A and B are shown apart, each in its own frame.
Chain A
Amino acid sequence: MMSSNPAVQLNGVNFAYRPGRPVLDIAELRIAAGERIFLFGPSGSGKTTLLGLLTGILKPQSGVVSILGQDLAPLSNAGRDRFRGVHIGYIFQLFNLIPYLSVVENIVLPCRLTPERMQRLRGAAPEQAAKEVAGRLGIGELLHEPVANLSVGQQQRVAAARSLMGTPELVVADEPTSSLDFDHRERFIELLFENCATAGTTLIFVSHDRTLLPMFDRAISLPEINRVRT
């Protein structure tokens, strides 16, 4: 999978939620496989919308969105959901977890929902794989806790563990550290890097907090590449 294909290739992408009110207009965006990208911009600049396009949840009105060499346009809705399930891990800003599942059940959920993700565990039981990932993220003791008992920092690590299960090629994190204090923030990002590095995973990390910028390979300012002025 780690071929010369870029992880992300956008060309001439236009997107609007309502006709006549464009949100994004991006001439070109290219992210190489294995890169660790810091995507920043002020609130309301369309960061989450861009992530929606990259993950196939939103469809552009025009232009090509190609992820891991796969053009998303010809895929059906279900096809894009499947593609996302197989190849992409997603971390939200907050409230990442299904409240009625335990930590380990949350972590193994992508594997349960997507058979390909399960296959990539190479025969390991999902619970075993979850234990391993959770161990690397320092939450190995919490596996059987109800998620309500966890601190925010612990919850975000569970979300990270879930996004890394079955080694997806692309991990997208939408301001995952905004509710953590500075020390926890750096520690969380370091853990994320370590885990992405072992599998060669591409990481797109979205934030408005530019103090984190120096930790990444490359930074992309959304207002600079977006031709829509907000």
Chain B
Amino acid sequence: MVLLSLAYQSLKNRKLTTGLTIFSIGLSVALLIGVEQVRLGARESFSNTISQTDLITGARGGALQLLLYSVFRIGSATNNISYDTYVHFQKHPAVAWTIPYSLGDSHRGFRVVGTTNDFYEHYRFRRDRRIEFAQGRLPNGIFDVVLGSDVAATLQYKPGDPVTVTHGISQGRGLLNHDDKPFRVVGVLARTATPVDRSLYVTLFGMEAIHADWADGAPPMLGEETPAAKMTEQNLKVKQITSFLLRAKSRIDTLRLQREINTFADEPLMSIIPGVALAELWRTIGYAEDALAVVSVFVLIVGLLGMLVSLYTSLNERRREMAILRAIGAGPRKIVLLLVAETVLLSAAGAALGVGMVYGLSAAFQPLVERHFGLYLPIQPLSVGSFVYLAAVVVAGLLIGFVPAVKAYRNALADGLSVRL
């Protein structure tokens, strides 16, 4: 206790170096814990990209591919599924709701998704948040389009603006444009910080309308297009979609439904459970987080070495102090303990400061990060891993303390009572 209070007062006496040392350890700890928190936040945010959907169904193919194009709007499907099949499962007694997706077209690099009002009604992300409109209304007409918030922000579109859909996925203006049938913006979605923000949404009829005259993947001859004015929901028939999301009435039905879909006789289908597929995907991209963690461990080591250097260099100035302590009965062992107590106090203070910085910074930058990176960082209690890190910092401080302590011990023995001034 005496030594601890001596250590404390000694550190207090050297305010500047103590402050700087604590600050540098604090920064490294903040980085380490911050990376850990961001990592967990990213995982959390990633696995909550889509919620309440029990199954994603598409044509048979890769599970990862299905997840990527249906949820993340990355890559594309190799096959479509027939609309009749979709209706079959939509009306299935075990199904609560479905959301159809018709994919394959784009506008200036953003995907165009054909869907129904079920999307705005049932789609959920981050557990229970739903799609909301920032401006405008639901798409009712065939040529109505609704923009995700990133699309609206990037392209500076507002309700009333015309949008020409490009056939296929291409950056900028594509080769084949459906410019005979321009869409009109009727609404902009509120920000979700998920891939929903990076798409344009039209109705299934709209999707069908722009491809109505196409045959075998080729556009109609010039002059042979059906004029947009003649397109009505009555004379359009939706023939196929790309995939659909499905919610079972009870969770118990999910696996039974999945089996039923996967063994559907009329058409080769595949359905995946989003949670499982997301976890698998996360594992494959998890190397990045390990790299980040390794870097922050090195930063921490640098911070601790800074503490070692500052204590070690202060020892020469403190030889006199050590000699006095020896003369009044503090043996070398107590001098070692005094210095170790100092490093432990420093590293513990640094650890506490680091944790404070993490919470302060995440509170300050949470909205900014969500807006710019689409990454929602929940302010959550420290993970078990973070506590392990903090304990490791204090233990490392303790071990590092022995280096100057042993030096002080040697000095104390060599100097005895006579430090020449």
Taking beta carbons and an 8 Å cutoff, which residues of A are in contact with B? 48-49, 51-52, 55, 57-58, 77-78, 80-82, 84-86, 88-90, 92, 94-101, 105, 109-110, 112-114, 117, 162-163, 174
CA distance A114 to B146 in the complex (A): 80
- Please, could you name 11 A-B residue pairs with CB atoms under 8 Å apart, sorted by A? A48-B416, A48-B418, A58-B416, A81-B332, A90-B328, A92-B324, A95-B320, A98-B324, A100-B9, A113-B330, A117-B329
Q: Are B13 and A82 in contact (CB under 8 A)?
A: no
- B326 — nearest CB in chain A belongs to which residue? A57
CA distance A89 to B324 in the complex (A): 11
Question: Interface majority SS on A: helix, strand, loop or mixed?
Answer: helix
CA distance A40 to B191 in the complex (A): 88
CA distance A113 to B9 in the complex (A): 15
User: Interface size of B by Cβ–Cβ distance < 8 Å?
Assistant: 23
**Does B2 have its Cβ within 8 Å of any Cβ on chain A?**
yes
Q: Are B417 and A95 in contact (CB under 8 A)?
A: no
- Least Cβ–Cβ distance between A72 and chain B, in angstroms: 14
Give the interface centre of B13, B326, B329 by most chain A CB atoms within 10 Å.
B329
Residues on the A chain within 8 Å of B417, using CB: 48, 51-52, 55, 57, 90, 92, 174
Residues on the A chain within 8 Å of B10, using CB: 100
Q: Are A57 and B416 in contact (CB under 8 A)?
A: yes
Residues on the A chain within 8 Å of B2, using CB: 112-113
Besides the known contacts A81-B330, A98-B6, 9 further A-B residue pairs in the complex with CB atoms under 8 A apart: A48-B418, A49-B418, A55-B417, A78-B333, A80-B331, A81-B334, A101-B9, A117-B329, A162-B328
CA distance A10 to B48 in the complex (A): 83
CA distance A82 to B331 in the complex (A): 7
Residues on the B chain within 8 Å of A92, using CB: 324, 327, 417
- A96 — nearest CB in chain B belongs to which residue? B324
Residues on the A chain within 8 Å of B129, using CB: none
**Does B273 have its Cβ within 8 Å of any Cβ on chain A?**
no
Q: Are A81 and B421 in contact (CB under 8 A)?
A: no
- Least Cβ–Cβ distance between B167 and chain A, in angstroms: 78
Q: Are A86 and B329 in contact (CB under 8 A)?
A: yes
A-B residue pairs, 4 tightest by C-beta: A85-B329, A81-B331, A100-B13, A90-B327
Give the interface centre of B332, B418, B421 by most chain A CB atoms within 10 Å.
B418
Q: Are A110 and B321 in contact (CB under 8 A)?
A: no
- Least Cβ–Cβ distance between A32 and chain B, in angstroms: 24
**Does B325 have its Cβ within 8 Å of any Cβ on chain A?**
yes
Residues on the A chain within 8 Å of B326, using CB: 57, 81
Q: Are A94 and B421 in contact (CB under 8 A)?
A: yes
- Least Cβ–Cβ distance between A113 and chain B, in angstroms: 5
**Does B12 have its Cβ within 8 Å of any Cβ on chain A?**
yes
- A112 — nearest CB in chain B belongs to which residue? B2
- Least Cβ–Cβ distance between B152 and chain A, in angstroms: 62
- A101 — nearest CB in chain B belongs to which residue? B9
Residues 82-124 of B, flagged 1 when their CB comes within 8 A of A and 0 if not, give 0000000000000000000000000000000000000000000
From A99, A109, A113, give the contact of B13 (CB < 8 A): A99
- B330 — nearest CB in chain A belongs to which residue? A113
- B14 — nearest CB in chain A belongs to which residue? A100
CA distance A100 to B9 in the complex (A): 6
Q: Are B328 and A55 in contact (CB under 8 A)?
A: no
Residues on the B chain within 8 Å of A174, using CB: 417
Q: Are B421 and A78 in contact (CB under 8 A)?
A: no
Q: Are B421 and A95 in contact (CB under 8 A)?
A: yes
